[in-house]
Amino acid sequence: MRLLSISSGKVIPLFGSHHPNYSKVASAINKQSISNLASPTPIEITRLGVSGDEQADLSVHGGLEKAIYVYPSEHYAFWNALLTREAKGVVDLPDFSYGAFGENFTIEGLLETEVYVGDRMQIGDLEFTVVKLREPCFKFNAKMGYKGAAKAMLQSGFSGWYLRVNQIGTLSAGTEIQVLPGQRLTSIADQNHALFNRGNQKNIWN
């Protein structure tokens, strides 16, 4: 298990002027890799996450309890296949470089079925606590250029998760990850399944 990339982004208009109904909707979902295996630059990690990273809506992203968003690299192939099929040449595919899903940490070797709320993640000298899954919204649909992206994220179980920062310091891509188990009552996959089912009951996916 290791950290493949650290990414950050600035708050900008999500849709641009070509979408007048939402031209002023802001988001920092467009992340760029600032430390990766090719260039493992040391990056400062604060209590609020990756230094320099921004969030547009602190009610759903960021803050102490959602300081870092983690996404497994293993899911990239799923999204590439899904959006290639669904786009059918109508829209350009998203850029699938690290950070494509708005994540701060792109990792390998650890999935939602193996991570539980309350687990701690030791990455180098830094320690984090797993807080909850990522709940996708219309901004994720817009980023992916596919109106079914949020549903697909939860239906697939490929949501990723948020971390609280317990120990600040610097991190570089390539650092190994160790999981320190907590009580292990609820996995991220369990949360994902429950949220998807609630959405079905409320008919929000149709």
Any idea where the domains of the chain sit in the sequence? Answer: 2-201
The pLDDT, as a whole number, for residue 19 is: 59
Structure tokens at 174: 């390539």
The pLDDT, as a whole number, for residue 56 is: 84
The pLDDT, as a whole number, for residue 96 is: 83
- Residue 203 gets the label, from left (phi > 0), alpha (psi -120 to 50) or beta, of left
71 CB-contact burial (10 Å; exposed 0-12 / middle 13-18 / buried 19+): buried
**How far is residue 166's CA from residue 147's CA, in Å, rounded to a whole number?**
36
**How far is residue 81's CA from residue 145's CA, in Å, rounded to a whole number?**
14
The pLDDT, as a whole number, for residue 143 is: 85
User: What secondary structure letter does DSSP report for 168?
Assistant: -
The pLDDT, as a whole number, for residue 23 is: 64
The pLDDT, as a whole number, for residue 69 is: 97
| Partners of residue 123 on adjacent β-strands | 126, 177
Task: Map tokens 């309890």 to a residue.
Answer: 65
The pLDDT, as a whole number, for residue 20 is: 61
SS in 3 state form for 41-58? CCEEEECCEECCCCCCCC
The pLDDT, as a whole number, for residue 60 is: 78
pTM above 0.85, yes or no: yes
The pLDDT, as a whole number, for residue 58 is: 78
| Domain 2-201 sits in CATH 2.40.33.20 | yes
* Mean pLDDT in order along the chain per 10 residues (206 residues): 97 69 78 97 97 86 93 95 76 79 97 98 98 91 87 95 98 98 97 90 70
Structure tokens at 95: 């850029």
